């Protein structure tokens, strides 16, 4: 059996031809396909690595081969190289028994068109909102293309023979599929220990003079909501320190920090890849914030929940499916965000309540729960396609 996985994700390839990722498509992800279908070919974008100390996570794995577009950087390249994309995808689609498209994706949309041409069944993983991603990309071109891009992805999802959504309702409502479908987060937590909750409650009860607020996100992406957060922090009355973990070019965010006079309040910690270091960061927060303008189901929020962090977040994407409504706010509503931060950091009982609720909710994203759901669904798809 053969299966092809098609998406826009940029994979990094070093001089030894080892493949890495800065996202969630790490080497342990592929087993859900290879265990069910055998050999897997991954098609996406490629970036050559010259620096050996890059800090990216391992993406290659046994029974997985990568065939990447190194010439496609984004934007206009999808139009410029459309013919080349079709030429590469067509034989894979014709010859593969199972076809998976991870959407939203420009390459994935083209793949769906080819599947229709050759009457090939395919299923999709829906991991985000195409419209929001384009609209909040930060430039005029993105806003102009948002509706067109969303319509193309919506059609590809509607015509799929099966769909896996990372949200429970949000993406299903925006990009419906009436065939086989489940919700299964692409974020799973390996281990849950009640000691994590008690330890975080103990930390909160220390009631430190300087409240530590934390966030995880690429610091070069405006749609992570940094401007909204910084505007809100100007009105926070309690003494605080904001620590941001994430890679990316720091020039833009440093200018933003200066604009809001937060130079003495914000620390950029850079990228952290080590899981234990991430846990240590989250375990020592009074409050985690997620001010995103657009999201699917954010990994960072679920990880913070699993470490019993109190969390305040925007209502972007699937976040309201994770966080209690009383601790969320409408996208870009910086005034309510500042009010919520002031409210939470001034009341230890509220922080403890948030901590307990988030930890309990996060257990629904355990590896065993999500993996079993995905495995059973993939088995059903396999049987349906064979029959």
315 burial type by CB count under 10 A (0-12 exposed, 13-18 middle, 19+ buried): middle
- pLDDT above 80 (res 168): yes
Q: Which residues of 156-195 are buried (b: 16+ CB within 10 A; e: fewer)?
A: bbeebbbbbbbbeebbbebbebeeebebbbbbbbeebeee
pLDDT number for residue 380: 81
- Residues 197 and 210: their CA atoms lie apart, in Å, by 21
**Does the fold of domain 194-364 match that of domain 2-188+366-386?**
yes
Q: What is the mean pLDDT of residues 208-218?
A: 95
Q: What is the mean pLDDT of the chain?
A: 92
pLDDT number for residue 332: 94
Residue pLDDT, tens place only, 276-303 = 999 999 999 999 999 999 988 888 999 9
- Residues 312 and 288: their CA atoms lie apart, in Å, by 6
Share of the chain above pLDDT 70, in %: 97
pLDDT number for residue 138: 61
pLDDT number for residue 378: 82
- Residues 121 and 290: their CA atoms lie apart, in Å, by 37
- pLDDT above 70 (res 387): no
DSSP code of residue 71: S
pLDDT number for residue 191: 66
pLDDT number for residue 371: 76
Return the sign of the alpha-carbon dihedral for residues 299, 304, 307, 310: negative
Q: What is the mean pLDDT of residues 10-31?
A: 90
Contacts of 256 (CB under 8 A, 6+ apart): 226, 227, 230
- pLDDT above 70 (res 111): yes
pLDDT number for residue 210: 96
Choosing among 3.40.570.10, 3.40.50.2000, 3.30.70.20, 3.30.430.20, the CATH entry for 2-188+366-386 is 3.40.50.2000
At 1, the pLDDT band (50, 70, 90 cuts) reads low
- pLDDT above 80 (res 30): yes
Q: Which residues of 17-38 are buried (b: 16+ CB within 10 A; e: fewer)?
A: eebbbbeebebebbebbbebbe
| Listed ranges 181-190, 311-320, 377-386; the one with the highest mean pLDDT | 311-320
Domain boundaries, given as residue ranges, for the chain? 2-188+366-386, 194-364
At 376, the pLDDT band (50, 70, 90 cuts) reads confident
**Cα-based distances in Å from 298 to 66, 301, 332:** 26, 6, 17
- pLDDT above 90 (res 368): no
pLDDT number for residue 142: 78
Would residue 135 be called left, alpha or beta, if left means φ above 0 and alpha means ψ between -120 and 50 degrees? alpha
Q: What is the mean pLDDT of residues 360-382?
A: 82
- pLDDT above 80 (res 187): no
- Residues 359 and 353: their CA atoms lie apart, in Å, by 10
Share of the chain above pLDDT 90, in %: 71
| Top CATH class, 194-364 | alpha beta
Residue pLDDT, tens place only, 116-158 = 999 999 999 999 999 988 888 767 777 888 999 999 999 999 9
Residue pLDDT, tens place only, 331-363 = 999 999 999 999 999 999 999 999 999 999 998
Q: What is the mean pLDDT of residues 163-188?
A: 88
Q: Which of 84-88, 127-131, 181-185 has the lowest mean pLDDT?
A: 181-185
**Cα-based distances in Å from 354 to 309, 311, 328:** 7, 7, 12
């Amino acid at each position: 059996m053969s299966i092809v996985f098609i998406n826009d994700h940029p994979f990094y390839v070093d001089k030894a031809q080892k493949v890495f990722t800065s996202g969630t498509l790490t080497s342990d992800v592929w087993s859900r396909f290879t265990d069910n279908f055998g050999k897997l070919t991954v098609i996406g974008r490629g970036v050559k690595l010259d620096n050996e100390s890059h800090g990216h996570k391992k993406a290659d794995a046994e029974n997985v081969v990568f065939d990447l577009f190194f010439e496609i950087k984004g934007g206009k390249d999808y139009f410029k190289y459309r013919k080349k994309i079709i030429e590469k995808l067509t034989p894979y689609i014709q010859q593969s028994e199972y076809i998976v498209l991870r959407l939203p994706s420009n390459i994935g949309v083209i793949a769906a068109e080819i599947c229709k041409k050759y009457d090939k069944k395919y299923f999709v993983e829906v991991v985000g909102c195409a419209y929001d991603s384009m609209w909040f990309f930060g430039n005029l071109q993105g806003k102009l293309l948002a509706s067109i891009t969303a319509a193309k992805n919506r059609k590809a999802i509607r015509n799929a023979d099966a769909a896996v959504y990372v949200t429970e309702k949000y993406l299903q409502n925006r990009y419906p599929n009436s065939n086989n479908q489940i919700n299964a987060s692409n974020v799973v937590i390996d281990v849950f220990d009640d000691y994590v909750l008690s330890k975080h409650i103990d930390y909160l009860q220390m009631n430190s003079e300087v409240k530590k607020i934390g966030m995880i996100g690429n610091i070069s992406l405006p749609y992570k909501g940094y401007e909204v957060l910084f505007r809100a922090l100007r009105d926070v009355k309690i003494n605080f320190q904001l620590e941001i973990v994430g890679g990316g070019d720091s020039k833009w965010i440093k200018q933003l920090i200066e604009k809001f006079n937060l130079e003495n309040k914000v620390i950029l910690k850079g990228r952290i890849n080590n899981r234990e270091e991430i846990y240590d960061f989250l375990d020592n927060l009074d409050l985690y914030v997620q001010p995103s303008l657009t999201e699917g189901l954010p990994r960072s929020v679920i990880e913070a929940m699993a470490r019993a962090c109190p969390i305040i977040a925007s209502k972007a994407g699937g976040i309201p499916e994770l966080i209690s409504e009383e601790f969320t706010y409408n996208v870009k509503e910086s005034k309510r965000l500042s009010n919520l931060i002031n409210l939470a950091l001034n009341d230890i009982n509220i922080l403890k309540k948030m901590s307990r609720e988030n930890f309990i909710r996060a257990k629904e994203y355990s590896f065993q729960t999500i993996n079993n759901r995905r495995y059973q669904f993939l088995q059903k798809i396999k049987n349906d396609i064979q029959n």
